[in-house]
Amino acid sequence: MEKQEHQTLPYFGIPKILKYAKPYRWKILIMVILGVLSSLIDSIYPLFNQHILNHNLAEHTADTLPMIGIGYFLVLAFQVWDNYYSAYMCSRMELWMNRDLRNAAFNHLQTLTFDYFNRNSVGYIHARVMSDSGRIGELFSWHLMDFVWSGSYVVCVMVVMLLTNLRLALLVLMLVPVATVIVTIFRRRLIAQNRRVRELNSTISGDFNEGISGIRAIKTLAVEERMNEDFRKDTEDMAHASIKAGRTSTLIGTTVSFLSTVALALVLWQGGKLTVEELMQLGTLSVFMSFAIGIMEPLQNCINCLTAMTTIQVNIERFSRLMETESCVTDTDEVIEKYGDTFHPKRENWEELEGEVNFEDVTFQYPDGDEPVLEHFHLHVPKGAAVAIVGETGAGKSTLVNLVCRFYEPSSGRLLIDGRDARERSQLWLHSHIGYVLQTPHLFSGTVRDNLRYGKPEATDEEIWKALKLVAADRVVQKMDKGLDSDVGEGGSMLSTGERQLLSFARAILADPRILVLDEATSSVDTVTEKAIQTAIKTVTEGRTSFMIAHRLSTIVDADTIIAVRDGKIVESGNHRELMEKKGYYWELFTRQFADVSVDMAMRNE
Amino acid sequence: MDKQNTSPRGKGRVKTLLRLVEGSKRFFIGGILLAWLTSVLDLINPKIISFTVDAVIGNETASLSRWMQRILEKAGGREVLRGHLGLIALCVLGVALLAGIGRYAFRVLNVKGQEAMLRHTRNLLYEHIMALPLTWHNRNHTGDIIQRCTSDVDVIRAFLSEQLTTLIRMVVSILLSLGFMLTISPKLTGIVAIFVPLMIGFSYVFHKKIEASFEKVDAMEGKLSAIAQENLTGVRVVRAFGREAYERERFETSNEEYTGLWKHLMRLLSLFWATSDALAGLQMLAILVLGALLCLREEMTAGGYIAFLSYCGMIAGPVRMLGRVISGMSRAGVSIDRIRYILEADREVNTRADKKPQMTGDICFDHVSFAYDGSEEKVIDDITFTAPAGKVTGILGSTGSGKSTLMYLLCRLYDLEEGNGKITVGGVDLADMDRAWVREHVGIVLQEPYLFSKTLGENIAITDKDSSTQSIQDVARIAALEETIEKFSKGYDTFVGERGVTLSGGQKQRAAIAQTLLRDTPITILDDSLSAVDAQTDAKIRKELDVMHQSTRILISHRITTLMHADRIIVLDKGKVVETGTHESLYAHNGLYRKICDMQSPEGAMTHIPA
């Protein structure tokens, strides 16, 4: 998980988000105007009472009552419309912002390279897409609206007060900076506390995730009690941290409302004196007092909005950190100009890919690695050749294919594809011509057909069956209840690992790639099936360049070039015969693997 | 799958809610009591002020109640107070301070209640999820369950700590106000009494109506969330196929649909808010005009009129709010149902007796058949064999031949249905044993090992926190993990990341083997657990196992070299046992085993015998 440096963005981080609000600036403006109107109307209503009291009741006449009724009705009708429309606008604002932010985050993620996904957990990234966006959307709709509503009311009241009695007004307004200082101090504490709460919150989500996705392991290890215990500890920490944060925010709220009462008391004391000395009218005093009370709630609303902003600031920080994460592999502008970007490919400019791969003095070090995995490496793979990569567990066999697929780029040296530097063409162009079958196959929820068509959406059922037969996966699909329409479950959970490997193999074949990468593609498949696939691979790789990573050496003896990797370094390369004659590392691996069987058979043959 | 996901509705909601607030009720109740106290305190300051304005600054002592006049006399009369207005101001501050303390205490209690409730609910859910059978887990999406455990719990929190407390406070303040109004003018109160139920009734009908929309929105949110989740877990596939644009379109389409559903719902909600605003406004209008007429007919005083209007204003807010609160409640109802779906799912139970026998005897599979929940197809079809005690039994079988399922049955992750055979250990039927007992004594290394986001050492010692460093190192050595660990700069304290992402497949498998070895169970199963390690390491691990462990071992593998030294080898095909014997007998038998054996031999590898 990415360690987050706690840098704080200026202005609550809002400048970072403004560009997402920009398309809606006019709508936001209308929303704000409607909000101001609504709070103005709220201050009109008392005028009706005043008129009835001063005119109708004082002069004992009902003459203007019908007019009052009609006027009141009209104002009410306008305000109801205003409220409806502003609430509707506000909710749309929220939804649109949410949608745009989610799309932006999701789309940005599609351009990032694997090291980002290796560094950050799925849960963490998922929260950036799904929840940060929502919180930020709220800021630009409901919080903004609340702020406008309350803010305009507070400002109106202040203006009226200043106009009515300057001295008394200043006395009241003196308290505003006091309130601001106190709130600022508490706020700083609150931000830190809220951060802790959020961290714990994601820990708890992570716990749920682990408990649910790891249920098989938990049950078979019989560690339910331990897991429960750990979880209870996390929820306890969470409760403590949240109560702490709750105390602070409550303290802010109560302090502010107490300060408002201080204002009221000041008015009563000083204003009362003025009135007693007949320097001020009783009516003015009562207006002032009602203002001192009335200003309390909106002021607090404003403060609440500020508090909300500080919490949302954290979301903005995390969201913008994601958006600012740059991919380690990017296409240059010229390349994008010609070949299009990830989402807008210009397929008409794409060349065919022949499949010749050339490592030219390549040195490579993983971004988080300590030392280079490859140093001054040269390898020429002609079009249509089969390259096998063998070596012990964890020796770094995937590195080469990661470079061929341009999931990473060489630290120095060049990787040529069809004689041209891989960087001269777009990533999508390359990926569209590569079929990659992973050791841990991933299927998407949906039907078998959806999954197989993933690399070639327009594939017909006939083509699908052909691909399935080729990798001996037709049997798997035939025995499923609904054939191609069968559901594979979340991540393919309805199928065994071997079956998933077969389907993902078929998926790659169906896409008809020029370069085929098989990363332990059949490690969980039974021998008979694997043998069948072996024969198929020969057909499939005919005319395609292929890279195979394998444990079972029996599967790769026919490869044109075999590369033996040890401790992250390439120690040998050549074909099976050459390497066997050399009696080096490969020979050692090969004979060891078959020693058991050979000895046994030798005994039997006697 | 989705059919079962529709939550049970209705009556049990209150019962569930009561279960969730167990232990936190007192905080909520205390909070509400304090809130009432605070509202009463809040009423005092306006009284002091009107008294000061009328009787101290102004001169309307006549209108004061007798009680108030006595206070005035006690305080030394009007003139003294006029000279010491500061004292009155201090009184106001004192009351405000008390109210402030009350308000602070009320909110803190509320937060405490909310957190206690959250903690209790989360613990309940987690504990229950741990105890739910695997069939339930297979049926439900991880993302969906997590959503229920996080966002739905949060909706319930908001309901309890924000909506319900507000509701109770408001109902009381509405009733109090109505009482005061009644003393002023029964006629006008009648009008109010018509509007209040109208507004509440309207809220109720509305909230019933939008319930379905909320469910739809929630379902859609789950779908959108699942798309993001899958994209992230399958990021390597997306990239390898260059399908970013497709993923983008898929996400954006669902996002649009989700936004559309919300928009529809928000439109309804806005309409509802506006309508309740209108109703409240109309009520005010009626009081304003009719009250004025009553005053003109001298059925009411001007003072009464003003007071009535201010009371009316006081309840307008709460009544309006009531609509919002109730509309929020429909959300909570849906969320409670969604949580009940988890809490009311049946836990794993011991169907029969709770026997706890020695687990060191022969393991017999006796005419065992099994089909997964909701599927016709038998994964295991009438399988009979014995894994002798203390010996190694190897299982070889084609992909999808039911090997793993067979082992899950042995761990009782699934239960055999009546009449589908039985599994016995030392002659005792597994179904008669205590489930936890079985799992504690059967150590299985899963085909796809799962590591927890802890350190490597903690993962190995997951079953026993207190294991000694020595014993952890021992099992790591047996699992051929030692060298790998030495390479990590932090050794056993290396954090393995979520699901062990920082480790390679082989490293994960070996860590899982070490994990199981540490348990030292009488039955040990390796379910294709050496597939991602090279043949040499495989051999090394098996050798160590033979020396160290005298348990009954079952090895599942595709590699002949892994299985050939087993005391007995079972060959499965399509859910049936096709061959049984030792390596020698099976090799001589010239059947499936022999065929596989030949294919895997160096000669076979080089000559490509077609399948």
pLDDT at res. B435: 86
Continuous H helices in B347-468: 403-410, 435-441, 456-460
Average the pLDDT over each of A21-30, A304-313, A495-504, A587-596 and give the range with the smallest value. Answer: A587-596
Q: Which of A243-247, B76-80, B295-299, B449-453: highest mean pLDDT?
A: A243-247
Contacts of B490 in chain A (CB under 8 A): none
Token pair for A161: 């007060």
Q: Does position A604 have pLDDT exceeding 70, yes or no? A: no
Determine the Cα–Cα distance for residues A520 and A538; give it in Å rounded to an integer: 16
B122 and A235 within 8 Å at the Cβ level: the answer is: yes
Q: How many CB atoms lie within 10 A of CB B351?
A: 10
Contacts of A253 in chain B (CB under 8 A): 103, 107
- Sheet containing B422-425: order of strands: B378-387, B363-371, B422-425, B428-429
Q: How many CB atoms lie within 10 A of CB A412?
A: 13
Determine the Cα–Cα distance for residues B28 and B215; give it in Å rounded to an integer: 28
A110-138 mean pLDDT: 84
In A367-440, DSSP assigns E strands to 374-381, 386-391, 412-417, 420-421, 434-437
Task: Give the minimum alpha-carbon distance from A453 to chain B in angstroms, rounded to a whole number.
Answer: 11
In sequence order, the 6+-apart residues with CB closer than 8 A to the CB of A274 are A168, A280, A285
Inter-chain contacts counted by CB atoms under 8 A, chains A and B: 500
Q: Say if A220 is an interface residue toward chain B (CB within 8 Å).
A: yes
Contacts of A45 in chain B (CB under 8 A): 284
* β pairing state of B442-445 and B523-527: parallel
Quick one: three-class SS letters along A472-496?
A: CCHHHHHCCCCHHHCECCHHHCCCC
Token pair for B93: 């501050």
B45 and A264 within 8 Å at the Cβ level: the answer is: yes
With b meaning 16 or more CB within 10 Å and e meaning fewer, what string describes A26-46?
eebeebbebbbbbbeeeeebe
Which residues of A, range 73-92, sit inside 8 Å of B by Cβ? 73, 76-77, 79-81, 83-85, 87-88, 91-92
Q: Are B579 and B586 in contact (CB under 8 A)?
A: yes
Coil, strand or helix at A416:
strand
Residue range(s) of every CATH 3.40.50.300 domain in chain B = 394-402+441-607
Determine the Cα–Cα distance for residues B125 and B118; give it in Å rounded to an integer: 10
Which carries the bigger pLDDT value, residue A566 or residue A95? A95
Determine the Cα–Cα distance for residues A557 and A381; give it in Å rounded to an integer: 17
Average the pLDDT over each of A238-252, A441-455, A533-547, B83-97 and give the range with the smallest value. Answer: A533-547
Query: Which of A449, A331, A214, A241 is closest to B129 using CA atoms?
Result: A214
Partners of A391 in beta bridges: A565
Residue B39 has φ and ψ, to the nearest 5°, of -65, -40
Q: Does position B604 have pLDDT exceeding 90, yes or no? A: no
- Cβ-count burial of A227 within 10 angstroms (0-12 exposed, 13-18 middle, 19+ buried)? buried
8-state DSSP, B52: I
Q: How many CB atoms lie within 10 A of CB B215?
A: 19
- Give the DSSP per-residue string, B468-507: -HHHHHHHHHHTT-HHHHHHSTTGGG-B--GGGTTS-HHH
Task: Give the minimum alpha-carbon distance from A350 to chain B in angstroms, rounded to a whole number.
Answer: 14
Continuous H helices in A43-64: 45-51
- Cβ-count burial of A75 within 10 angstroms (0-12 exposed, 13-18 middle, 19+ buried)? middle
Average the pLDDT over each of A44-58, B52-66, B267-281, B344-358 and give the range with the smallest value. Answer: B52-66
Q: Say if A213 is an interface residue toward chain B (CB within 8 Å).
A: yes
pLDDT at res. B3: 38
Determine the Cα–Cα distance for residues B251 and B231; give it in Å rounded to an integer: 9
pLDDT at res. B535: 72
Q: Say if A176 is an interface residue toward chain B (CB within 8 Å).
A: no
Which carries the bigger pLDDT value, residue A470 or residue B78? A470
pLDDT at res. A606: 34
Q: Tell me the torsion sign for CA atoms B356, B360, B362, B368.
A: positive
Which carries the bigger pLDDT value, residue A173 or residue B130? B130
Q: Which amino acid is at A93?
A: M
Distances in Å between the alpha carbon of B148 and those of A233, B125, B142, B217, B232? Answer: 21, 10, 10, 14, 20
pLDDT at res. A330: 82
pLDDT at res. A236: 95
Q: Which of A186-195, A237-246, A548-557: highest mean pLDDT?
A: A237-246
CA of A396: which chain B residue's CA is closest?
Answer: B504
pLDDT at res. B60: 61
Query: Closest to A442 (Cβ–Cβ): which among B142, B237, B296?
Result: B237
Q: Does position B2 have pLDDT exceeding 60, yes or no? A: no
Q: How many CA atoms lie within 13 A of B489 on its CB side?
A: 2
Task: Give the minimum alpha-carbon distance from B237 to chain A in angstroms, rounded to a whole number.
Answer: 7
Q: Are A195 and A310 in contact (CB under 8 A)?
A: no
Average the pLDDT over each of A206-220, A297-311, B90-104, B354-368 and give the range with the smallest value. Answer: A297-311
Query: Closest to B241 (Cβ–Cβ): which among A224, A293, A454?
Result: A454
Which carries the bigger pLDDT value, residue A103 or residue A426? A103
Task: Give the minimum alpha-carbon distance from B163 to chain A in angstroms, rounded to a whole number.
Answer: 17
Q: Does position B608 have pLDDT exceeding 50, yes or no? A: no
Contacts of A111 in chain B (CB under 8 A): 244
Q: Say if A278 is an interface residue toward chain B (CB within 8 Å).
A: no
pLDDT at res. B5: 41
Residue A552 has φ and ψ, to the nearest 5°, of -75, 105
CA of A517: which chain B residue's CA is closest?
Answer: B240
- pLDDT tens-digit map of B194-231: 888 888 788 778 877 887 888 888 889 888 988 888 88
Token pair for A277: 């000395």
Residue B522 has φ and ψ, to the nearest 5°, of -65, -20
Contacts of A48 in chain B (CB under 8 A): 288
Q: Are A477 and A492 in contact (CB under 8 A)?
A: no
pLDDT at res. A2: 41
Q: Does position A94 have pLDDT exceeding 60, yes or no? A: yes
Which residues of A, range 516-575, sit inside 8 Å of B by Cβ? 517, 520, 523-532, 534-535, 551-555, 557-558
pLDDT at res. A602: 41
Q: Tell me the torsion sign for CA atoms B184, B186, B190, B191.
A: negative
B93 and A262 within 8 Å at the Cβ level: the answer is: yes
A461-466 LR contacts (CB < 8 Å, sep 24+): A463/A510, A464/A506, A464/A510
Token pair for A370: 């300590």
B123 and A232 within 8 Å at the Cβ level: the answer is: yes
* Mean pLDDT for chain A overall: 83
- pLDDT tens-digit map of A8-39: 677 777 888 888 988 999 999 998 899 888 88
Task: Give the minimum alpha-carbon distance from B439 to chain A in angstroms, rounded to a whole number.
Answer: 6
A528 and B306 within 8 Å at the Cβ level: the answer is: no
B400: left (phi over 0), alpha (psi -120 to 50) or beta: left
Q: Does position A311 have pLDDT exceeding 60, yes or no? A: yes
- pLDDT tens-digit map of B571-595: 998 888 999 999 889 888 888 888 8
Average the pLDDT over each of A128-137, A506-515, A549-558, B85-94 and give the range with the smallest value. Answer: A549-558
Q: Say if A221 is an interface residue toward chain B (CB within 8 Å).
A: yes
Distances in Å between the alpha carbon of A110 and those of A120, A127, A329, B232, B501? Answer: 15, 16, 12, 9, 20
- Give the DSSP per-residue string, B117-160: HHHHHHHHHHHHHHHS-HHHHHHS-HHHHHHIIIIIHHHHHHII
Q: Which amino acid is at A317?
A: E
Contacts of B297 in chain A (CB under 8 A): none
* Mean pLDDT for chain B overall: 83
Q: Which domains does chain A have, with CATH numbers?
A: 14-324 (1.20.1560.10)
B57 and A84 within 8 Å at the Cβ level: the answer is: no
Task: Give the minimum alpha-carbon distance from B381 to chain A in angstroms, rounded to a whole number.
Answer: 14
Q: Are A387 and A331 in contact (CB under 8 A)?
A: no
Partners of B523 in beta bridges: B442, B552
Q: Which CATH superfamily is domain B2-343 in?
A: ABC transporter type 1, transmembrane domain (1.20.1560.10)
- pLDDT tens-digit map of B456-465: 999 998 888 8
B103 and A227 within 8 Å at the Cβ level: the answer is: no
Residue range(s) of every CATH 1.20.1560.10 domain in chain B = 2-343
Token pair for A169: 């007004």
A126-155 mean pLDDT: 86
Q: Does position A598 have pLDDT exceeding 60, yes or no? A: no
Q: Are B394 and B568 in contact (CB under 8 A)?
A: yes
Task: Give the minimum alpha-carbon distance from B421 to chain A in angstroms, rounded to a whole number.
Answer: 22
pLDDT at res. B353: 67
8-state DSSP, B611: -
- Cβ-count burial of B417 within 10 angstroms (0-12 exposed, 13-18 middle, 19+ buried)? exposed
- pLDDT tens-digit map of B404-435: 889 999 988 888 888 889 999 999 998 888 88
Q: Are B109 and B141 in contact (CB under 8 A)?
A: no
- Cβ-count burial of B422 within 10 angstroms (0-12 exposed, 13-18 middle, 19+ buried)? middle
With b meaning 16 or more CB within 10 Å and e meaning fewer, what string describes B546-575?
eeebebbbbbbbbbbbbbbbbebbbbbbbb
Q: Tell me the torsion sign for CA atoms A52, A55, A57, A58.
A: positive
Using a pLDDT cut of 70, give the percent of chain B over it: 91
3-state helix, strand, coil in chain A (%, to 5): 65, 10, 25
A523 and B531 within 8 Å at the Cβ level: the answer is: yes
Contacts of B224 in chain A (CB under 8 A): 102, 130
Using a pLDDT cut of 90, give the percent of chain A over it: 12
Q: Domain B394-402+441-607 falls in which CATH fold?
A: Rossmann fold (3.40.50)
B85 and A272 within 8 Å at the Cβ level: the answer is: yes
The interface predicted TM-score (ipTM) is 0.81
Q: How many CB atoms lie within 10 A of CB B610?
A: 9
Contacts of B452 in chain A (CB under 8 A): 210, 214, 217
- pLDDT tens-digit map of A494-527: 787 788 888 888 898 888 888 988 887 777 777 7
8-state DSSP, A352: P
Contacts of B276 in chain A (CB under 8 A): none
Contacts of A95 in chain B (CB under 8 A): 259, 262-263, 266
8-state DSSP, B347: P
Distances in Å between the alpha carbon of A247 and those of A190, A193, A239, B102, B103? Answer: 9, 10, 12, 13, 12
A593 and B536 within 8 Å at the Cβ level: the answer is: yes
